[in-house]
């Protein structure tokens, strides 16, 4: 019930005269009462402030309200802030919105992950509220109204939630080919569960998650073979195969050539203009 007090004090919806004239900040935190002093300062500014107390709720509000800046906690139940950030970065209507992490999660790895996922800043909750406000103000000054005509078209806005999850999972896999997490971990990192993620891959790509991983590894292997002189053993390790033998077997099954034959063919043709 305590969170309802914060929810009722938001301004008018996007598209009204007020939201056209002032920046809109969306704060997503499962315990907004823990940052009461910061919220008080935010509400004293000439901005519109909305609050969501759960990650899925925050995601839906971000899609519908399209705020100018999102302040995001990390440790939240059901879906954490990193998983939510991945989804926001894939959805056309939110991918350009600056995300500022404000969290008690303060290990070097957590701060680096937040910034790597696309956060524009990472602030620890123990920071003074005045510092939090100053950083928010800086990012709003840098980005607000920078691209007023860059709103996504209707086709982009129609992107289904399943497709956003799919894109986030594909990007995560492509970035970690050498050390793919478990299916459960992949699903958790894109805000869903194993059964739904498997269903999404089958419905939209016609393959399993593991089938996609295998194809992605082979595609990356082809690229490395065609572009450089790295050994087959090194390429196999880089794209996540246990051995060069396993890589060669999978490669031949898919393309009808060994990695060495493929390299000879592509690099030889390129060099001789064949």
First to last CA, the chain: 72
What span, in angstroms and rounded, lies between the C-alpha atoms of 156 and 96? 13
Residue 267 is predicted with a pLDDT of 74
Which are the contacts of 172, defined by CB distance < 8 A and separation ≥ 6?
A: 86, 181, 186, 189, 190
What is residue 17's predicted lDDT score, i.e. its pLDDT?
40
Query: C-alpha distances in angstroms, 9 versus 12, 21, 238?
Result: 10, 18, 52
Predicted confidence (pLDDT) per residue in 208-229, tens digit: 999 999 999 999 999 999 988 8
Mean pLDDT of the chain: 86
* Distance in angstroms (rounded) separating the CA atoms of residues 182 and 197: 12
Identify the band that residue 153 occupies on the pLDDT scale cut at 50, 70 and 90: low
pLDDT of res. 10: 40
Locus of tokens 């999978």: 250
Query: Can you say whether the dihedral through the CA atoms of 218, 219, 222, 228 is positive or negative?
Result: negative
pLDDT score for 266:
83
Dihedral sign computed on CA atoms, order 202, 203, 206, 212: negative
The predicted structure's pLDDT at residue 1: 39
Q: Which domains does the chain have, with CATH numbers?
A: 2-156 (3.40.50.2300), 161-272 (1.10.10.60)
d(CA 98, CA 141): 11
Strand partners, 50: 26
Cα four-point dihedral sign 112, 122, 119, 141 = negative
What does the pLDDT average to over 240-255?
92
Using CA atoms, how far apart are residues 44 and 151, in angstroms rounded to an integer? 28
Round to whole Å and give the CA distance between 106 and 112.
Answer: 10
Q: How much is the pLDDT for 107?
A: 93
In angstroms, rounded to a whole number, what is the distance separating the alpha carbons of residues 248 and 246?
Answer: 5
Q: What confidence tier does 159 reach under pLDDT thresholds 50, 70, 90?
A: low
Alpha-carbon distance of 15 to 79, in angstroms, equals: 29
Question: Could you give the 3-state DSSP secondary structure of residue 49?
Answer: strand
Going along the chain, which residue ranges are E strands? 24-28, 48-52, 69-72, 99-103, 121-124
Three-state SS at 69: strand
User: Of 161-170, 177-186, 261-270, which range is least confident?
Assistant: 261-270
Length of the chain: 274
Burial 134-158 (b: 16+ CB within 10 A, else e): ebbeebbeebeeeeeeeebeeeeee
More confident residue, 61 or 155: 61
pLDDT at residue 117, rounded to an integer: 94
Statement: residue 4 has pLDDT above 90: no
Crossing angle for the helix pair 81-90 and 161-175, to the nearest 10 degrees? 110
- Provide the pLDDT for residue 193: 94
Confidence of residue 201 (pLDDT cuts 50, 70, 90): very high
């Amino acid at each position: 019930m305590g969170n309802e007090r914060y929810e009722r004090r938001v301004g008018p919806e996007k598209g009204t005269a007020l939201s056209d004239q002032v920046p809109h900040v969306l704060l997503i935190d499962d315990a907004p009462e823990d940052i009461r002093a910061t919220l008080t300062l935010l509400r004293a500014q000439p901005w519109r402030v909305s609050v969501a107390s759960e990650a899925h709720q925050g995601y839906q509000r971000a899609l519908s309200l399209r705020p100018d800046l999102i302040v995001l906690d990390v440790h939240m139940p059901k879906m954490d802030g990193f998983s939510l950030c991945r989804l926001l970065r894939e959805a056309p209507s939110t991918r350009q919105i600056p995300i500022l992490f404000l969290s008690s999660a303060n290990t070097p790895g957590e701060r680096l992950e937040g910034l790597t996922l696309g956060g524009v800043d990472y602030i620890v909750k123990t920071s003074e509220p005045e510092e939090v406000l100053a950083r928010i103000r800086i990012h709003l000054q840098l980005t607000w109204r920078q691209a007023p005509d860059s709103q996504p078209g209707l086709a982009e806005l129609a992107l289904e939630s399943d497709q956003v999850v799919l894109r986030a999972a594909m990007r995560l896999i492509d970035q970690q080919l050498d050390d793919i997490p478990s299916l459960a971990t992949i699903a958790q990192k894109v805000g869903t569960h194993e059964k739904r993620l498997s269903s999404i891959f089958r419905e939209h790509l016609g393959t399993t998650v593991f089938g996609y991983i295998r194809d992605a590894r082979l595609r990356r292997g082809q690229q490395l073979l065609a572009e450089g002189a790295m050994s087959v053993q090194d390429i196999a390790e880089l794209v996540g195969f246990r051995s060069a033998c396993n890589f060669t077997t999978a490669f031949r099954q898919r393309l009808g050539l060994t990695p060495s034959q493929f390299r000879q063919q592509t690099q030889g043709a390129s060099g001789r203009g064949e």
